[in-house]
Amino acid sequence: MRESTLPPIFGEYKNQVKFVVQRTNDEYSSTCPSCGDMGHNWDNSRDFPDRCRWFLKGNPCGWCRICNNLFWPGKVEGTKISKSQIQEWRIELERKQEQAIQKSLNSLKILNDQHPWVLWHQQMTVEQATYWSEEGIPRDWQNYWLLGYLAEKMVMYNGQSYRVPAYTIPNQALYSKGHRNGVLNIHYRLVGDVDIGRYRYEKGLRQNIFYTRPDWSPGERPVAIFEGAKKAMVVRARTNNDKLDIISIPSKTPPASLLEEISETYRHGVYWCLDPDAYDNSREFASKCEHGRAVRLLYKADDWIVKHGITGGQLVNIIKKGELIT
Ligand SMILES: [Zn+2]
């Protein structure tokens, strides 16, 4: 998708929205003039939030699916749109969302049928396994998470394709009846050329919670939430504590649906441990959880352990003292 601008008819909103893209001939999407830009993955330049939809057909207007506000062109003149028209647009939009979900489920099924991450794990050389060890994840945990290495990952950037090596992290689904249950996505850590970005996810699949213990029932234990799967894995691997669950979200600005999922699932102590530059995000997300806390970290969690020598146990003690928000 290519960043665009709102059609002229919505000109009065153009300074209030970001990440405008054209979705179809007569629909655009963007952040919301009213409730903002949460949901955009800032680490991924190709991610465009589908938060507010701008409809050109019929009586043009914008509609935010999060705050449910409608945005009319020429507000001052008081353009009127019938309820039935709005209802029609909503049904149309829901139909499209349903199609997108089906498409994503199909992609997920194909991925799981092929399970390429198993091969990428099995084929890791000593050198590649050493990379993971040096990043803070010992061999037995590499096996548990099936971490791997892919010599040539095809990556698109600015309309061009590149082939670069990548370290691979399967985002495992929660176990089903005590057994592994496939993946929800795959995280790729690109090696080399930083110009094309450092991370990618599996195309066409939504970004999910990364569970460091997919064999545990989510919500039974207090949970510490980090930014990015690697940090969560390093903390898990270095923390001998079966009473604390550790998960991660893809970035400091996760989709609103992920935040909802977390606040609905985890209710017995939710410790937000985002990177030091995102303490305000931690506080904000904690405010939406039951027993939410924000933890101020001195360094990124994995760096703190690997480069600065704090032990997992010490880090957990700091986490427990996180600021109580709710
Ligand atoms: Zn909104």
Please say whether the beta carbons of 7 and 29 come within 8 A: no
Q: pLDDT per position in the chain (326 positions), as tens?
A: 678 888 888 888 988 998 898 887 788 999 999 887 765 555 555 567 888 999 887 778 888 887 888 888 876 444 556 677 767 777 877 787 788 889 989 999 999 999 999 999 999 999 999 999 999 999 999 999 999 999 999 998 888 899 999 999 999 999 999 899 999 999 999 998 778 889 999 988 988 999 999 999 999 999 999 999 999 999 999 998 999 999 999 999 888 889 999 999 999 999 999 999 999 999 999 999 999 999 999 999 999 999 999 999 999 999 999 999 98
pLDDT for residue 76: 44
Q: What is the DSSP string of 205-229?
A: ----PEES-TTSPTTSS-EEEEESH
Beta strand pairing call for 270-272 and 292-294: parallel
If you measure from the C-alpha of residue 256 to the centroid of ligand 1, how many angstroms do you get, rounded to a whole number?
A: 11
Which chain residues have CB less than 5 Å from ligand 1, an ion? 32, 34-35, 64, 66-67
CA dist 45 and 302 (Å) reads 24
Q: Ligand 1 centre from 109 Cα, in Å? A: 32
Gap from CA of 196 to ligand 1 centroid (Å): 31
Q: In angstroms, rounded to a whole number, what is the distance separating the alpha carbons of residues 157 and 159?
A: 5
Dihedral angle sign, alpha carbons of residues 128, 134, 136, 141: positive
Residue 19 Cα to ligand 1 middle (Å): 14
φ, ψ for residue 2 (rounded to 5)? Answer: -120, 135
CA of 289 from ligand 1 middle (Å) equals: 21
User: How many whole angstroms from 15 Cα to the centroid of ligand 1?
Assistant: 15
Residue 132 CA, chain-centre distance (Å), reads 22
pTM: 0.77
